[in-house]
Amino acid sequence: MTTTRPQKPTLVSAAVTAFLLGTSLAATAAGDEAGESSGHPDTSKGEMSYMGTPQSEPDAKMVTSPGAPAMTEAEFGKAKQIYFERCAGCHGVLRKGATGKPLTTDITQERGTEYLKTFINFGSPAGMPNWGTSGELSDAEIETMAKFLQHPPPEPPEFSLEDMKATWNVLVPPQERPTEQANDLDLGNLFSVTLRDAGQIALIDGHSKELVTTIDTGYAVHISRMSASGRYLFVIGRDAKITLIDLWMETPRTVAEIDTGLEARSVETSKYPGWEDKYAIAGTYWPPQFVVMDGDTLEPLKIVSTRGMTVDTQEYHPEPRVAAIVASHEHPEFIVNVKETGKIWLVDYTDLDNLEVAMLDAARFLHDGGWDQTKRYFLTAANQSNKIAVVDSKDREMEALVDAKKIPHPGRGANFVHPEYGPVWATSALGNADITLIGTDPKDHPDNAWQAVDVLEGQGGGSLFVKTHPESNHLYVDTPLHPTEEVSQSVAVFDINNLDEGYEVLPIAKWAGIDEGPQRVVHPEFNKAGDEVWFSVWNGQEQASAIVVVDDETLELKKVIKGDWLVTPTGKFNVYNTQHDVY
């Protein structure tokens, strides 16, 4: 297959660049050819979009706010970009907190610059990355961020249907696409791998472990999701750009794209029988809203704001972000997590002109989640509320709220049959070493259903993902955000049939053979057969990274994938497992 090598990436979309540079979307989009003069010496417009406006004047204007240390405009602009890229996902665009603590000025100004510098530098076992000691931020950048957080947050613009349509691009119309698969790839064992800081995904063949191609996407791809048919790959970046990739083409390529806002995490397609892939949906962190699109072209059809009242205090919240979205298998609807209000929306897509939404009260700070093994019950973390919410998608009601200590963070979770308690779903946590197992079988194990039947102790806090497979006897738990290197660079493995024996540690980063960088080990993902599991060794953008493949039966190293195209790999999504919700 054709292999393409990454070019210098454009990290953020036009909308995000406009916000970061303080310009309008129209001004950013107009005439931004990579080599066109920007008006700054030795800096093209393309480079400005990539790096931000150069500031070297000794008399640069100052940014001042009551109670906050003064900053130059250049420092403020740089900090705004770092905050968008590294911090907003957990702390919120308006810094009101969710997975991460609130960073409002009443808090940050009281803490002061030195305290904030220390916290940013060293992180915490509760999941705050050690941005300084890992080498990802310099001392100067840390000081700039500590000052920036004491100023009020700049509020980005809204994003309308007109704004979306201005970015919508159908590169290959549906009628010009293949009518059958035009390549010899085993699509079921293809992996879509996030190349976070390159603004790309890599497609890797699961059999040969060879690169098929790299494809430009949005900045910091969050997830890849499959169409119900298994043909189309939907990729969404943290800059809210969606890339629709046709895997049937001779070399898989982008056939449509759109910007849905300035920051996002979630995309999904309709899966109910008779409605397969008719619609796609994307939820954004900013603006707080979701958009329903045509499933073949990404044409935006319906935008719905999620601003509203919180589930507990019933106060108005200006930034209730859209987190996980899943497509119901029981009804023609999407299940949408509205993070800050703590409500789960059931969005009926049968009539977009007269949209019906049922709102279920759960708990605040809804985040990630996934299906139980029957795909009837959706289990999702309300992370700062330390709860797992359970939705019965068939009866369209809340089934339970289950306690899970200290910021549960399941990813999509992990399903397996516990030798004593029957079917369970597992979540790890950011704030402690707990792996909580929740019973999911109300029919045959009613006494265990929707309760934490067991709690395993892993290596420590800072876990992002747990993973298993129906063909595996192992449960894998990563800890990439733990501040101790030997923990963040390894994974814990439990034998599902002998959970009381504790875990075995696999030195994944050591096996990768990389000598520098933070080498965070993140996101276990199985191949289609369930006999091997892939891990990302996530390093800095200028450092070597790797993917380590482990034999699931022997727990021994099977393969190390490297290459100069492998820039900051994080999430890996096996096509078959993603299409069929196997986890």
β-pair partners for 343: 338, 361
Instruction: Give the HSE-up count for residue 306: Cα atoms under 13 Å, Cβ half-sphere.
Output: 31
At 438, is the secondary structure helix, strand, or coil? strand
User: One digit per residue, pLDDT tens: the chain, 583 residues?
Assistant: 433 333 334 445 666 666 665 644 444 443 333 334 333 334 333 333 323 333 333 345 777 788 899 999 888 889 888 887 788 878 888 888 777 788 989 999 999 999 999 989 888 766 688 888 878 899 999 999 999 999 998 878 899 999 999 999 999 999 999 999 999 999 999 999 999 999 999 999 999 999 999 999 998 899 999 999 999 999 999 999 999 999 999 999 999 999 999 999 999 999 999 999 999 999 999 999 999 999 999 999 999 999 999 999 999 999 999 999 999 999 999 999 999 999 999 999 999 999 999 999 999 999 999 999 999 999 999 988 999 999 999 999 999 999 998 899 999 999 999 999 999 999 999 999 999 999 999 999 999 999 999 999 999 999 999 999 999 999 999 999 998 999 999 999 999 999 999 999 999 999 999 999 999 999 999 999 999 999 999 999 899 999 999 999 999 999 999 999 999 999 999 999 999 999 9
Active-site positions read 87, 90-91, 128, 367, 409
* Torsion sign (Cα): 16, 20, 26, 32: negative
- Between the CA atoms of 396, 399, 405 and 411, what dihedral angle is there, to the nearest 10 degrees? -40
pTM, full prediction? 0.84
What are φ and ψ of residue 399, in 5° steps? -95, -40
* Other beta carbons within 10 Å of 61: 11
For residue 211, what is the enclosing H or E element?
A: strand 211-216
- Between the CA atoms of 98, 100, 105 and 107, what dihedral angle is there, to the nearest 10 degrees? 110
Q: What one-character-per-residue DSSP string does 234-283 give?
A: EEEETT-EEEEEETTSSS-EEEEEEE-SSEEEEEEE--STT-TTTEEEEE
CA separation for the pair 560, 546 (Å, rounded): 7
Question: Are 223 and 280 contacting, i.e. CB atoms less than 8 angstroms apart?
Answer: no
Q: Which two tokens stand for residue 328?
A: 């119901």
CA separation for the pair 436, 456 (Å, rounded): 6
At 429, is the secondary structure helix, strand, or coil? strand
CA separation for the pair 397, 389 (Å, rounded): 11
What are φ and ψ of residue 501, in 5° steps? -80, -5
CA separation for the pair 478, 465 (Å, rounded): 6
48-60 in b/e form (b: 16+ CB < 10 A) is bbbebbeeeeeee
Residue with tokens 């619609």: 279
* Torsion sign (Cα): 6, 11, 12, 17: negative
